[in-house]
Chains A and B, each alone.
Chain A
Amino acid sequence: MKEIIGLFAQYLSQYFKTRFAYRADFLGEMVSNLVSELINLVFILVVFQHVPFLNEWNRDEIIFIYGFFLVPYALFSMFFSFWDFNERYIIKGEMDRILTRPLHNLAQVCLESIAPDRIFGVITGLIIMGYAAVRLKLDFAWYDLPIFIGLVLSSALIYGGVYTAIAAISFFSDSRTGIAPMIYNIQNYGRYPVDVYNKLIRFVLTWILPFAFVGVYPAAYLLGKKTLYGYAMLTPLMGIVFFGIGLAIWNWGVNKYQGAGS
């Protein structure tokens, strides 16, 4: 673990060196992250000019959920940004190199493709949450802070697990599957209360691709929505289970992996 942290610092400094070679582009990318985070906020703000409630939820609650969602999502996209895993590691044969490294291969892949600029999403999320919390006059106890951190980490693990499992598909089939962008789009559903959707989608978002545990459920705890406390408390368990499944599929895939053709 200590080794990973040391390497993390090394990769971080490498990352900034390469990024600062093209400063304007680096800045542009940060702006683009911010813009895409704010666009959903604009959607919420505009829609709530026309309606007071979305099912049982008011404007500030929806904003709070969205702000919460951004925090684990930013952590996830910082550490798991190998969107092009199939192309970069399997088709080009880079995975063979990874396997000769002493570090666990998933950690190695994560570190190589790390995207530290995504960390700003955490700040954006906290600001949005703070704004909503003030307007809702939410009261937090001291223990809510560790609970919040625990919930955020668990949520990020859920994403990480699902994503790792999908990336691992590349070990079994080296053709492009297009599943990753599909899952990426499904995460859009997690930003809003699941009671918006029909029973089937709600079930999928809770138990199969549990993205509701990245937004509504944990945020419901902080919002004091007692009816959803049960789900909120399940978040850490879901995080561990789904990351465990993802890792298991990954390890299985690595064992089955036969190397690149060339």
Chain B
Amino acid sequence: MGKMYAELIRMRFLTMLAYRVNYYSGIIIYAINIGAYYFLWGAIYGGQQQMAGLSAGQMTAYVAIAWMSRAFYFNNIDQEIAQEVRDGRVAIEMIRPYNYLSVKTAQALGEGIFRMLFFAIPGMILISFLIPFHFPASLQAWGLYLLSLLFAFVINTEINLLTGVITFFLFRNEGMMRSKRVVVDLLSGLILPISFFPGWAQTVMGFLPFQAINYYPSVIFTGAVSEARALQMIALQIVWVLVILIPITVLWQQARRKMIVQGG
């Protein structure tokens, strides 16, 4: 079983590799975004040394690593599921001897690994030449970052599975998936660190899983939090990984029973 999923990860990786030219422009897009926010934050900090727990230098690192982490955790499996529901291919997928949602997750991981190797790592090297930038000092800090990045991937993928499965009930939900994407970008801390939000908003966000997707790994990377706090963040991520499994399981059970194949 494990071998089959490993094969699925590999297949998706190879598919992405075959079309890698398409993704070179992606590196430039991320560079454009990082550049925009780099200058913007430079102007926002002005002369200030410290804001919301981040120094100007840490903010630079935050902007860069937040986008690069996104390269790894981001995927469109919700849209893939929606597409397969709409054109009826999902019927074939469901009679195959594997779990459909696990297959999607494996494919997402293959995509993530591809983007990590061909996108985030070269992008990071490129950026470290262009803007003043500090990598974590110790191996331990790197380890904490990578661990929380992995959980960030799992949580984001779970949220995508959830929105994807909702297609079974709504048939068309592009609008919802698009809103979800922008909302995740804001609430995950990609656009601005969670610590910048007013207190009440931070309290509300504490009850939502989104900051575990980007804010936690990014802020761990910048070194703006202590090691104890970093471990606490990773523990919270694990809790979210388990919590989101519940609605996925429930909806998936319902979806399989309720499924109407359109077209087919």
Interfacial residues, chain A to chain B (CB-CB below 8 A)? 22, 24-32, 35-36, 39, 42-43, 46-47, 49-51, 53-55, 175-179, 181-182, 185-186, 188-189, 192, 196-198, 201
What residues on B are CB-neighbors of A176 within 8 Å?
A: 22
In the complex, the answer to whether A179 meets B25 with C-beta atoms within 8 Å is yes
User: In the complex, which residues of chain B have a beta carbon less than 8 angstroms from the beta carbon of A47?
Assistant: 44, 192, 196
Q: Which of B15-59 contact A (CB under 8 A)?
A: 21-22, 24-26, 28-29, 32-33, 35-36, 39-40, 42-44, 46, 48, 51-52
8 Å CB interface, B153-190 against A: 170-176, 178-179, 182-183, 185-186
Q: How large is the interface on B (under 10, 10 to 19, 20 to 34, 35 or more residues)?
A: 35 or more
Residues of chain A within 8 A (CB-CB) of B44 are 47, 50-51, 54
Cβ of A179: which chain B residues have Cβ within 8 Å of it?
25
Chain A nearest CB: distance from B60 CB in Å? 14
Whether A182 and B35, one on each chain, are in contact in the complex, defined by CB atoms closer than 8 angstroms, is no
Chain A contacts of B43 at CB under 8 A? 54-55, 196
Contact of B174 with A25 in the complex, beta carbons under 8 Å = yes
Q: Does B198 contact A (CB under 8 A)?
A: yes
Secondary structure call for the A interface: helix
CA distance A196 to B183 in the complex (A): 26
| CB-based nearest B residue for A24 | B170
In-complex Cβ contact of B192 among A29, A43, A181, A198 (8 A): A43
Closest to A192 in B: B40
Query: Nearest CB to that of A195 among chain B residues?
Result: B43
In the complex, 24 of the A-B residue pairs with CB atoms within 8 angstroms, ordered by the A residue number, are: A22-B172, A24-B172, A25-B170, A25-B175, A28-B173, A28-B178, A29-B174, A31-B175, A32-B176, A32-B182, A43-B186, A46-B192, A46-B196, A47-B44, A49-B198, A54-B43, A178-B24, A181-B29, A182-B28, A182-B32, A186-B32, A188-B33, A196-B42, A196-B43
